[in-house]
Structure 1
Amino acid sequence: MAGQKDAFQALSSENRGTLITLTSVSLLIVAIIFVAAKFGSAIYFKQRRTAVNTPIWAALILAIIQVVLLQKAVDHGMGKHQDGLSDGDIQAWSKFAYAAHILLIGAMSLSKMSTILLIWKLTPSKSLRRSCALTAGIVVGWSIFAVLGIAFQCEMPGPWLYSPERCAGEGAIFYPIAIFNILTEVIIAVLPFLMMRNVQMAQHKRVKILCSFSSRLIIVFVGIAHLALIPSFSHSTDVSWDIVNWEIVAQTMMLTAVIIACVPTLYHIFAGLHSGLTTTQIPNGIGLELPQTKPSGYINHSAYSLDFP
């Protein structure tokens, strides 16, 4: 019976870990639905763009593992006051949270790469493809920096055990990680506007396409909140309690990134349902092109397709 009680923790003045659980599980369910819909759409319309689809599937797998690990951290005391935890629980929740933070970087990076690759597939513009490649390189660089920074910021042995006095700069590494995360999201949000520049099409379709990509700006605002909350725990002597709000925002950011990465290739379904066109299909090409004087600006007809009624 005691094990069953521990498995279903209640929110209280002494335990805020349940808030992390509720946020993670709720958004994970939504993420699974979106990725499953994307997967089903790819099968139904016989799309074999594995380079575009694989990153988001991998991101979901990492996100699921990350949520499980973070729940283990909650089970061992994250969300409770540290002075009420045993040394074993402090070590355990710290290890699980340490692994979860590293996996969060992986899931975020893959969601970014999914959107970058989609834009790269959609445009034949060499300059925009170079921009996509450069952005992908920045994302990879950020990922390596973030993983190494999180992994080795604290003293050996026990690099997973965070406390201000034993970690470099009292958690200062979290600031550049968060800042570059925001900057990469801003760059990715700008790329679709460059893609649609000079494309000749109906204004309402242009707006729909740009909105589907611009939804990624939500992650920018969540990322800013994530950055702003770093001081709430980085200098704390009660890390297991004070880290809760930061963890909630981090989970929201990661899982929202997975969800939003699916939106551009699913928007045609939502638009079709809204207008009653339940038989909406994705054609071979998006069907958007420039006047003949600018042949390099059209959307790649042989690439991934988007269609908006």
Structure 2
Amino acid sequence: MSSSEPLMSPSNNVTPDHRGPVVDVSIWIFFVLSGLSVVSKVLTKLARASSEISLRKLQIDDFVLSLTQVLALGTTISISRQVAAGLGTPLETLSEASIAGYEKAAYASQLLYVCALCAANSAAIIFGLMLQPSKNHQLYLKATQGFGFVWLIVSIFGIAFQCKLPQPWALLRNQCFDQRAFWAFVEATNLATNFAITVVLIAIVWGLQMKTPKTKYLLALVFGTRSLLIIPVAFKLSYMFHRGLTHDTGNWNPTSDSVEEVILTSVIMNASIAIACLPFMKTLMESLQPGWSTGQVRPGVGYDIMVTKTFENSSYPLSGLSR
């Protein structure tokens, strides 16, 4: 077909050869859910301790999560552009213009995706540092953050030059390195980072003296939910390796076979954001009252980080906790 032909504009009917609408609906639902998590966290912070809403109540992790949501929006829009260009449709039915549009949208979504993951992990690490843990835990968190930045640089460099110049985005038409090995590295390393964050956050909580064991176990469970990311990552890599096998056997149809892989990418990204917000959900925070021990949390931490206005208005003394 002529390269001057416009991008395809498929209908909304879902068929075995046209599954793009499934991707579109799924990724926007996941994005909205993670967005609601970020909004809920920010509003909980803004409304704490008084009826007055002030941006001064927000902390650096709130701004990092807001940036993460912007990156997630860019990723979601890019994937939606992939759908418009032919994602979920057999490759042989696409025009040259559609293939080029698909490749460029996929290229942009991959770059934004790794940036969003790094930002979501950074927000969790910043939260851990704001709890003012021991020096060993601080070093552990900072080392994890440094490792995360190195991972981001390596991932961006790999994505940026994954295919032969001058068209490094030409995933379907150019000579590219082994995508399976690269993305296995990217996802496995991100999982290792999440595991490290989970371990240190649980260790920090475990070192605190709380009024009831239930509170400590609940917080540990909340922080441990980050390990659940292994499920969508495992499925994503499974689909990716299966798609690679079809390439080796000559039955390669990447635009049609990437549907599940792309949906799982959205799940991983938005779940990472939602999990970072989970400790600040209002219902959870209220269930933690009276929460932190006044003897184990440094001044300013227990109240400012994890406690809502109901704590100040309750009958529990603030004692050593400084606002």
- Equivalent position to 2:39, from 30, 36, 40: 36
Give the match's secondary structure for 2:57.
coil
Name the Cα RMSD after superposition. 2.5
**Contact 2:243–2:254 (CA under 8 A) maintained in structure 1:** yes
Q: 1:8 to 1:203 in 2, by over 3 A?
A: farther
Structure 2 residue aligned with 1:95: 104
How big is the shift at 1:42?
1.7
Distance in 1 (CA, whole Å) between partners of 2:297 and 2:152 is 30
- Equivalent position to 2:293, from 261, 280, 288: 288
Question: Are 1:269 and 2:283 counterparts?
Answer: yes
- Equivalent position to 2:193, from 155, 168, 184: 184
Q: Deviations over 1:124-176 (max 9, x none)?
A: 31110111100101111111111111111111122111149711135421121
Structure 2 residue aligned with 1:83: 92
- Equivalent position to 1:299, from 282, 297, 300: 297
**Contact 1:163–1:170 (CA under 8 A) maintained in structure 2:** no
Structure 2 residue aligned with 1:229: 239
Further displaced range: 227-236 or 175-184: 227-236
Aligned residues: 289
Distance in 2 (CA, whole Å) between partners of 1:189 and 1:89 is 42
User: Residue 30 of structure 2 aligns to which amino acid in structure 1?
Assistant: L
Runs of 4+ in 1 over 4 A off after TM superposition: none
Q: Deviations over 1:217-255 (max 9, x none)?
A: 222322222232221334533111111111111111001
Structure 2 residue aligned with 1:66: 75
Distance in 2 (CA, whole Å) between partners of 1:300 and 1:220 is 34
**Contact 1:232–1:243 (CA under 8 A) maintained in structure 2:** no
- Summarize the alignment of residues 185-264 of structure 1 with structure 2, pairs less than 5 Å apart: 185-201=194-210, 202-234=212-244, 236=247, 237-264=252-279
- Equivalent position to 1:123, from 124, 127, 132: 132
User: Residue 299 of structure 1 aligns to which amino acid in structure 2?
Assistant: V
**Contact 1:81–1:238 (CA under 8 A) maintained in structure 2:** yes
Give the match's secondary structure for 1:89.
helix
- Summarize the alignment of residues 84-163 of structure 1 with structure 2, pairs less than 5 Å apart: 84-163=93-172
Give the match's secondary structure for 1:14.
coil
Question: Are 1:23 and 2:26 counterparts?
Answer: yes
Distance in 1 (CA, whole Å) between partners of 2:205 and 2:284 is 21
Q: 1:83 to 1:10 in 2, by over 3 A?
A: same
Q: 1:307 to 1:270 in 2, by over 3 A?
A: same
How big is the shift at 1:289?
5.3
How big is the shift at 1:25?
0.9
Distance in 1 (CA, whole Å) between partners of 2:33 and 2:178 is 37
TM-score by length of 2: 0.82
Q: 1:121 to 1:181 in 2, by over 3 A?
A: same
Q: Which has the greater radius of gyration? A: 2
User: Residue 216 of structure 1 aligns to which amino acid in structure 2?
Assistant: R
Distance in 2 (CA, whole Å) between partners of 1:147 and 1:43 is 34
Q: 1:170 to 1:50 in 2, by over 3 A?
A: closer
Structure 1: segments with no counterpart, 5+ residues: 291-297
Give the match's secondary structure for 1:172.
helix
Structure 2: segments with no counterpart, 5+ residues: 1-5, 49-53, 312-323
